[in-house]
Structure 1
């Protein structure tokens, strides 16, 4: 075989493995939809702590999240794969946008707040 053909086969194999890992990673996690933010993913293991209909806010208890380290990488990827784009971040507050709708996510130690559409 020639070198270029070997490179293509190796490249395709690595790409297929990476894609398979991404699919397992994406579908291997359980997520539900946020109450006030349609289509925004919330980890299924996050326990609802408080709901405010006046502020369109949802507070969850979730161990993997922290103020120091922010949202876990796998959760950030799920948000991205769900079509939400990170538009701003100031400290523990991260703003995501999809189809003109903005959602704020605040991460504190073992606490996650999702502030509904703005």
Structure 2
């Protein structure tokens, strides 16, 4: 009896997984933020926020200049962004940084690192 219950449960879980597959962010397409759109205040504010969050964690004094390019990925309840951000260090040296963040509730910085 116990073996048949386990097999039945396994069959039900398998059917549910096939009929209702879990969609992950890796399966969602990235959409480029083209041309003049990247200069919109919304994206520039998000980029500035990403730099501020990074500075809170790293204490490196980066200063936001602008979002240079970006792409977005629509998730079920939020939007994931990848930006190339131009920022300057304490010495005034300007460089590019890759930032990933999720605009949702709450907004989260996923990663921030020098661009390759």
TM-score for both structures, normalised by structure 1: 0.30
Larger radius of gyration: 2
TM-score for both structures, normalised by structure 2: 0.31
More helix by share: 2
